[in-house]
C-alpha cells in the first residue's frame, strides 16, 4: 500500500532549496519517494514550482544536473545543522549553479512591444536558470538569519529538512512526529513489561 505523500515540511514552500533537497524522501520500510526519478517527473517538479515554463521539455542530462545540485545542497545543509565540515566540492557545486545563468531580468526587444525585461532564457539554459534560482535561495538561507532555524527531521528514517517554526520541533510533519511518539510509547511499555517480568 502506497503511503500518501507528506505535506511540504515547514519552510519548503518559502525556500526552493529546502523543497529541492526534500524531493527525495526516505520512508519507513526502506522505501524511497523520488520526485526527480525521470526527466519527465523532473520537468513536472520544476513546472509546478514555477522554475521552468509550462511545456518545457528537459532531458536526462538536465535531470542529472538538478539531482547533483540536490546532493550538494543536502551536504551543505547537513553540515550547517550538525556543525560538521562543509565539503568544498559541494560548495563549488552550489557556486557553479549560482554563476551558470543570470538571475536578473535580461533586456529584450520586440518591434511590437519595444524594450522589455524578463527572466526568459534559451531552452538550452532552462535547467541552469532553475538551478541558479534554487542556489540563490540556498545562499540567502544559509547566510541569513533563518539559518539558525534550519533543522533535519529526527524521525528515522526521514531525512527531510525544515525550518523550525516553534519551540524545539524537530519533525517535518505530523506523521513523523506521531511515529516518534508511538515509538517512544512502545519503548516505555516494553521497558515496563520487562521490569515486571525480571
Range of the structural domain that residue 73 is part of: 16-100+127-197
Nearest to 24 by CA among 40, 11, 6, 39: 6
Distance CA 161, CA 169 (A): 12
Confidence band for 68, pLDDT divided at 50, 70 and 90: very high
Assign residue 52 the CATH number of its domain. Answer: 1.10.3300.10
| Residue 77 lies inside a defined structural domain of this protein | yes
| More confident: 126 or 90 | 90
Domain count, the chain: 1
| Residue 95 lies inside a defined structural domain of this protein | yes
- Give the chain as a DSSP string: -PPPPPPPPTTTTT-HHHHHHTTEEE-GGG-EEETTSSHHHHHHHHHHTTSS-TT----HHHHHHHHHHHHHHHHHHHHHHHT-PPPHHHHHHHHHHHHHS--SPEEEEETTTEEEEE----GGGHHHHHHHHHHHHHHHHHHSGGGGGEEE--STT---EEE--STT---SSHHHHHHHHHHHHHHHHHHHHHHHH-
**128-156 average pLDDT score:** 91
Q: Is the dihedral of CA 167, 170, 174, 180 positive or negative?
A: negative
The three cell numbers locating residue 60: 536526462
pLDDT of 2 = 40
**85-112 average pLDDT score:** 84
pLDDT of 161 = 92
User: Does 124 score more than 80 pLDDT?
Assistant: no
Confidence band for 1, pLDDT divided at 50, 70 and 90: very low
| Residue 4 lies inside a defined structural domain of this protein | no
Q: Which residue has the cell 538569519?
A: 145
Each residue's pLDDT tens digit, 42-57: 999 999 999 988 888 8
Least confident piece of the model among 8-12, 45-49, 79-83: 8-12
The three cell numbers locating residue 189: 511499555
Distance CA 165, CA 48 (A): 25
Distance CA 172, CA 7 (A): 9
| Residue 66 lies inside a defined structural domain of this protein | yes
Q: Length of the chain in residues, anyone?
A: 198
Nearest to 77 by CA among 153, 5, 6, 13: 153
User: Does 174 score more than 50 pLDDT?
Assistant: yes
pLDDT of 79 = 94
- Exposure on the CB side of residue 121, measured as CA atoms within 13 A: 21
| Residue 11 lies inside a defined structural domain of this protein | no
| More confident: 170 or 15 | 15
User: Does 180 score more than 70 pLDDT?
Assistant: no
Highest mean pLDDT among 88-92, 121-125, 172-176, 186-190: 88-92
Confidence band for 198, pLDDT divided at 50, 70 and 90: low
pTM tops 0.75, yes or no: yes
pLDDT of 43 = 94
What does the mean pLDDT of the chain come to? 84
Amino acid at each position: 500500500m502506497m503511503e500518501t505523500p507528506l505535506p511540504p515540511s515547514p519552510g519548503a514552500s518559502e525556500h526552493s532549496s529546502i523543497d529541492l533537497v526534500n524531493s527525495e524522501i526516505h520512508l519507513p520500510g526502506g522505501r524511497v519517494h523520488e520526485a526527480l526519478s525521470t526527466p519527465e517527473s523532473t520537468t513536472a517538479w520544476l513546472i509546478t514550482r514555477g522554475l521552468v515554463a509550462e511545456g518545457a521539455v528537459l532531458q536526462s542530462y538536465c535531470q542529472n544536473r538538478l539531482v547533483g545540485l540536490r546532493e550538494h545542497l543536502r551536504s551543505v545543509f547537513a553540515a550547517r545543522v550538525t556543525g560538521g565540515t562543509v565539503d568544498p566540492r559541494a560548495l563549488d557545486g552550489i557556486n557553479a549553479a549560482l554563476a551558470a545563468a543570470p538571475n536578473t531580468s535580461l533586456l529584450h526587444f520586440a518591434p511590437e512591444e519595444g524594450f522589455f525585461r524578463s527572466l526568459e532564457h534559451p531552452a538550452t539554459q532552462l535547467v541552469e536558470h532553475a538551478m541558479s534560482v534554487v542556489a540563490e535561495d540556498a545562499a540567502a538561507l544559509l547566510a541569513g538569519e533563518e539559518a539558525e532555524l534550519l533543522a533535519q527531521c529526527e524521525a528515522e528514517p526521514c531525512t527531510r529538512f525544515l525550518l523550525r517554526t516553534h519551540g524545539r520541533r524537530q519533525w517535518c510533519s505530523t506523521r513523523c512526529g506521531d511515529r516518534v511518539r508511538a515509538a517512544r510509547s512502545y519503548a516505555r511499555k516494553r521497558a515496563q513489561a520487562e521490569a515486571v517480568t525480571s
